[in-house]
Amino acid sequence: MKRPIFILILLIVFSFLTVQAAETKKVIKADANKIQGVWSLKNMDVGVGENKRNRDDAKFMVYIAKKHYSAIRDFTPKAAPGETAPSANRSFMADAGTYEFTGDEIIVHHKIAAFPSLGTMTFKCYMEGDNLILEPQYDKMVMPGMQAIKPSADGKMGYGDMAVKYVFERLE
């Protein structure tokens, strides 16, 4: 009697562990070849502490080549039901330039941007399955003449909510 119960318990534990392993996303260190491609934003985390939330209404595409990148984004909030999205006052940004990849971070050097004074941005960079994850490192941000635009304690920036994590899916 003890042996069948023991075997049943082992089967239950094994089944549970198998399900848990299948649900866990595998975090993979990114490499220079894996980050190259065309990426579209799945969702992003913004804010900090009790103000932290997930946004899936933002639009953001990144093209990463061997040495260059181009990014275009529209973070205008989705219109409420029955309302139309604003055509003015959109939170639209675009930039392009070169980048360095260290294996753990991607440092973008803006050469042209829809907003002035942009220098460099550093992102923690890794893969979760087939998704590219970028986490802005605001302490490493270089924006000449714009030192006042830093994240506030409540997770706001001069232009809106502070992004803390971008999750991209590969298009190409």
Give per-residue pLDDT as tens, 24-70. 557 788 889 999 999 999 999 998 888 888 988 889 999 999 999 99
Alpha-carbon gap, residue 166 to 55, rounded angstroms: 10
Angle at 107 between CA 48 and CA 160, to 5 degrees: 35
Q: Summarize pLDDT for 116-146 with one digit per residue, the tens.
A: 667 889 999 999 999 999 999 988 888 766 5
Distances (CA, A) of 93 to 21, 23, 63, 68, 139: 39, 35, 14, 17, 21
Give pTM, 2 decimals: 0.75
Task: Domain 26-79+90-170: state its class.
Answer: mainly beta
Distance separating the N- and C-terminal Cα atoms of the chain: 57
76, 99 Cβ separation under 8 angstroms: no
Model pLDDT, residue 113: 86
State CA 57 to chain mean position distance.
Answer: 13
Provide the percentage of residues in the chain whose pLDDT is more than 90: 41
